[in-house]
Chain A
Amino acid sequence: MDKPLALPIQKIITESERVKTYVFDYDFPGEPGQFVMCWIPGFDEKPFGIIKKEGKGFRISVAAVGDSTKAMHMMEEGDLLGFRGPYGSVFVLPEKGKQIAMVAGGYGMVPLSYLAQEARKKEYKVHLFIGARNKQELLFKEWMEEIGVLVHASTDDGSEGYKGFNTDLFKSNAEKESYDKVYTVGPEIMELKIAQICWEKNIPFEVSLERYMKCGFGICGQCSVDPTGWRMCVEGPVIDGEKLKKIEEFGKYHRTASGKVEKYPWVK
């Protein structure tokens, strides 16, 4: 489906001060890792990871960070949002082995929560390293605990769990546990650290790489990465750790809406 399908918001759940979840009573296709383009009429259209939970329907969770997402937070049940998709590549669970880890920074928890749910249904042992600024922003922690995920929380202010980065928590944990595969979604600096640990320890992993998108279905070229030219809306956003080695811009720079190259602040 590539033309926006207008759907009424069935239910709005307030997750935290910054995050709301929007539930739609429509059996939209889509697997963990994939995304939809969500049209906020009059404002913008943005990619969001999808979650499916309990039977029919789907949901997206949205943090109010910019004009359009703030506008979404003003919407009410019954208001219309437009959806097209699903787009992009999917997370793949390992065929052999039974213990996996997920490292989620901030809203990276959205696609990973859907994957964690599917992994638990298939009885994988799931360790989740979730990092947020404070206790209130640890998204879906209770839900994850309810379905039997082993949650290792970390917060910047120490209001819950480990005080510091979830990457450090993961690193020390990976010394004692053996993981068949690791999945990471979050700020690119966090993903880079996890990738480096996994490469070093030879652990298979997948990362969801975010790039600015216009069409979402592979023609505008806006989300193509260097030097492979892979489109993060078609060949990505989920990229396998071995393939990721070929994406030289990973952790270094991205392209803005104009196509200009913009280096990340941590790159000297």
Chain B
Amino acid sequence: MANLSVSLAGISLQNPTILASGIMGVSASSLKFVEEHGAGAVTMKSIGPTDRTGHKNPTVYSWGEGITNAVGLSNPGAEEGAAHLEEMKKILHIPVIASCFADTVDNIAKVAEKLLEKEPLALELNLSCPNTEDDFGCMFAMDPRVTERAVTLVKKTSGKTKIFVKLSPDASNIVTVAKAAEAAGADGITAINTLSGLIIDIHTKRPILKNTFGGLSGPAIRPVGVRAVYNLYEAVKIPIIGTGGINTGEDAIEYIMAGATAVGIGSGVYYRGIDVFGKVTEEMENFMDQNGYKSLEEMRGIAHKC
């Protein structure tokens, strides 16, 4: 039997599937439900400085080849978010990755500090949500200097907690941004966040999402994610969580072969149900057994050697 356990920046995972941020992560109970369905780790929904209701509906729908969302970073604020994180740590047996965002570099450091008080194993800095341009200006992950500043500030108080940086495929050069994050001390990269997109209903002659624009996810974006991971693997030494359009074990292996250490699953919950984590893990095992791979290590980045 192939061994699917993995060490992600020193954090042990029984399998490489990680629930991506923004999916099912509103409460500890919701994440526990994901754990029961086989995830190797979970990421909480991103927490910001204050209580936000996000955008009005429609906020999420499937357009066939993928999902479009503009939830708008709804969250209960840093204070209650930290309390949720504490509860998550208490009731879950698998690693919980905290997640945060903010409007300014100083504010993200403040939110991070609040969450870091609960000593999560890892904290993901969401520097790349594409759905809040109106009130947040340009996303941090567009600019390597801003990314570097954010990571540097957060690292000052991060202690033992590993800092992952979630990057955008909309950045003009994702590799430069990742290198800046690494230089500032990031322990890992999550690639990719959703791509900004727009879908118009031709009958009502309107964009469907209330926010007009939304983040694209799902199978349609997988080649974009795999390309990003492939490029990043050659440019940085820190581990990469490959995310974007993973529905099957084969999809996950594609990311591992591009160089990912672990894989994020979000829209896959929609396409294959809540037990997508168990299904992906089993399919990875089958592929590895059939092809003589004993560990993920043997496959990691293998596509670069050809």
Interface residues of A in 241-263 (CB under 8 A from B): 255-261
Question: Separation in Å of the B240 CB from the closest CB of chain A?
Answer: 23
With A4-B208, A224-B30, A229-B29 in contact, do A215 and B74 touch (Cβ < 8 Å)? Answer: no
A41 interface hit (Cβ, 8 Å): yes
With A41-B204, A226-B27, A258-B53 in contact, do A4 and B74 touch (Cβ < 8 Å)? Answer: no
Asked if A258 and B54 make an inter-chain contact with CB atoms under 8 angstroms apart, the answer reads yes
Q: State A168–B9 Cα separation when bound (angstroms).
A: 60
Binds B, one of A42-50, A156-164, A178-186: A42-50
Q: List A contacts of B204 (CB < 8 A).
A: 6, 41, 80, 82
Question: Separation in Å of the A193 CB from the closest CB of chain B?
Answer: 25
Asked if B76 and A215 make an inter-chain contact with CB atoms under 8 angstroms apart, the answer reads no
Q: List A contacts of B80 (CB < 8 A).
A: 260-261
Q: List B contacts of A234 (CB < 8 A).
A: 274
A34 interface hit (Cβ, 8 Å): no
With A221-B30, A229-B30 in contact, do A258 and B71 touch (Cβ < 8 Å)? Answer: no
With A2-B62, A218-B270, A259-B74 in contact, do A226 and B29 touch (Cβ < 8 Å)? Answer: yes
Q: State A229–B62 Cα separation when bound (angstroms).
A: 23
B279 interface hit (Cβ, 8 Å): no
Contact with A along B61-74 (1 / 0, CB 8 A): 11110010101001
Q: State A2–B59 Cα separation when bound (angstroms).
A: 12
Q: B57: nearest residue on chain A (CB-CB)? A: A45
With A45-B58, A215-B59, A260-B51 in contact, do A229 and B269 touch (Cβ < 8 Å)? Answer: no
The dominant DSSP class at the A interface is loop
A219 interface hit (Cβ, 8 Å): yes
Asked if A217 and B270 make an inter-chain contact with CB atoms under 8 angstroms apart, the answer reads yes
Asked if B201 and A4 make an inter-chain contact with CB atoms under 8 angstroms apart, the answer reads yes
With A4-B208, A82-B204, A257-B74 in contact, do A224 and B274 touch (Cβ < 8 Å)? Answer: no
Question: Separation in Å of the A8 CB from the closest CB of chain B?
Answer: 9
B151 interface hit (Cβ, 8 Å): no
Q: State A226–B270 Cα separation when bound (angstroms).
A: 21
Q: B274: nearest residue on chain A (CB-CB)? A: A218
With A44-B56, A215-B59, A220-B71 in contact, do A258 and B51 touch (Cβ < 8 Å)? Answer: yes
Asked if B27 and A42 make an inter-chain contact with CB atoms under 8 angstroms apart, the answer reads no
On chain A, the number of residues with a Cβ less than 8 Å from chain B's Cβ atoms is: 40
Q: List B contacts of A41 (CB < 8 A).
A: 201, 204, 206
Question: Separation in Å of the B210 CB from the closest CB of chain A?
Answer: 7
Asked if A224 and B201 make an inter-chain contact with CB atoms under 8 angstroms apart, the answer reads no
Asked if B210 and A44 make an inter-chain contact with CB atoms under 8 angstroms apart, the answer reads yes
Contact with B along A222-241 (1 / 0, CB 8 A): 10111111110010000000
Asked if A228 and B33 make an inter-chain contact with CB atoms under 8 angstroms apart, the answer reads yes
* Among A6, A216, A257, A258, contact of B203 (Cβ-Cβ < 8 Å): A6
Asked if B52 and A258 make an inter-chain contact with CB atoms under 8 angstroms apart, the answer reads yes
B163 interface hit (Cβ, 8 Å): no
B75 interface hit (Cβ, 8 Å): yes
A3 interface hit (Cβ, 8 Å): yes
Q: State A45–B77 Cα separation when bound (angstroms).
A: 24
Contact with B along A49-64 (1 / 0, CB 8 A): 0000000000000000
Q: List B contacts of A2 (CB < 8 A).
A: 61-62
With A3-B63, A221-B25, A224-B24 in contact, do A259 and B208 touch (Cβ < 8 Å)? Answer: no
With A230-B33, A260-B76 in contact, do A220 and B23 touch (Cβ < 8 Å)? Answer: yes
Asked if A44 and B27 make an inter-chain contact with CB atoms under 8 angstroms apart, the answer reads no
Asked if B26 and A219 make an inter-chain contact with CB atoms under 8 angstroms apart, the answer reads no
Interface residues of B in 159-207 (CB under 8 A from A): 201, 203-204, 206
Q: State A72–B58 Cα separation when bound (angstroms).
A: 15
Question: Separation in Å of the B82 CB from the closest CB of chain A?
Answer: 13
Q: List B contacts of A217 (CB < 8 A).
A: 60, 62, 270
Closest 6 CB pairs of A and B: A229-B33, A45-B57, A221-B24, A224-B30, A215-B60, A2-B62
In the complex, 29 of the A-B residue pairs with CB atoms within 8 angstroms, ordered by the A residue number, are A3-B61, A3-B62, A37-B57, A39-B58, A44-B210, A80-B203, A214-B59, A215-B69, A215-B270, A218-B269, A218-B270, A219-B266, A219-B269, A219-B270, A220-B69, A221-B25, A227-B32, A228-B33, A229-B24, A229-B31, A229-B34, A231-B30, A255-B27, A258-B74, A258-B77, A259-B76, A260-B51, A260-B76, A260-B77
